[in-house]
Structure 1
Amino acid sequence: MELFGIRQVAVSWEYREIVQLVTILGMVLGAVLGIVVLKGMRGNMREVDNRMLVASGQFHELMVRHFDDWSLSPSERDVAILTLKGLSNAEIAEVRGKSIGTIKAQCNAIYQKAGVSGRTQLISFFIEELI
């Protein structure tokens, strides 16, 4: 305080005790409110997780329904699911143990049966259905 030229005023010990008591009460109140907010956020996160599970289940049902409508073979269903998950043709070929040519042919069959022109439209189709 001397560096800035601020003059110190003598304060009674009662005043100092009151200031310290108010400070402690403020800190305790802040901690309690922090715990309450964290518990509320935890409940909200559970609700979001539950909604995501519901959406995930609905998405699976939606996929199965469309795959049935399009009469996809079991191999085409597998390729379609991996495509929707974002895997490239090379990655799908590696996962399924098939050649890239076979995967490309299956993808083309899927796109034709679904009435879309490619991977992007297939993904967009399902996103649009969910929205």
Structure 2
Amino acid sequence: MRLNFIILLMVLVQTAGALFFIGDIGMSVLGIERQPIDWRLREAMEIGAAIALLIGLVLSGVLLLQSQRRLGRAEARLQRASGAFMEVVDESFALWELTRAERDVAFLLLKGFSTQEIAGIRKTSEGTVKAQTNAIYRKAGVSGRGQLLSLFIDDLLAETHIPSPPIEPEPRA
């Protein structure tokens, strides 16, 4: 909310200063007669308009610095999240004892590539990729790509302490 107020203030202040100077020059160019005013008042108006533009410049600089800081923090968080995800992936692949080829295929599966695309990337047959995919699912204890991906999402959510939905107790027989 505060940021929006600063932006609005900056725009209004700069607009006021710019309109003063543009209006003054425009009226001179178009030959529009103006009522003469005291030179001291005129100087005060010009100084006020110039100060308004300077304030707008300063506010713009402040907003730019804030934006750069926010971008830096967001990039750092993204880097940490990316690193955390890769740690979870590497730990899981090691736990499941995936071969190097299975690790490559599993990573491509997590990235959303199809069997045909994985075969093309790895320069192997689709049958080989399907066999490796089945081995990955078996070793991970899942039945498909969605469950494989959910294993990693669950691990990441657990690390960020997001509460899991409550598990309903099974009815007794």
TM tier, smaller = 0.7 to 0.9
Counterpart in the other structure of 2:143? 117
Q: 1:30 aligns with which of 56, 68, 85?
A: 56
Aligned Cα RMSD in Å?
1.7
Q: 2:125 aligns with which of 84, 90, 99?
A: 99
Q: 2:90 aligns with which of 64, 75, 81?
A: 64
Deviation at 1:11, TM superposition (A): 3.6
Deviates more, 1:77-86 or 1:111-120: 111-120
Counterpart in the other structure of 2:111? 85
Please give the secondary structure, in 2, of the residue aligned with 1:87. Answer: coil
Aligned length: 124
1:40 aligns with 2:66: yes
Q: How far does the alpha carbon of each residue in 1:10-34 deviate from its partner, in whole angstroms, 9 at most, with x for none?
A: 5433323222211110110111111
Q: TM-score, normalised by structure 1?
A: 0.84
Q: TM-score, normalised by structure 2?
A: 0.65
Q: Which runs of 5+ in 1 are unaligned?
A: 1-7
Opposite residue 116 of structure 1, the aligned amino acid is: V
CA distance in 2, matches of 1:111, 1:9: 85
Q: 2:46 aligns with which of 11, 20, 23?
A: 20
Please give the secondary structure, in 2, of the residue aligned with 1:59. Answer: helix
CA distance in 1, matches of 2:146, 2:47: 64
Extract structure 1 runs of 4+ deviating beyond 6 A. none
1:49 aligns with 2:38: no
Deviation at 1:9, TM superposition (A): 6.0
Q: Which runs of 5+ in 2 are unaligned?
A: 1-33, 158-173
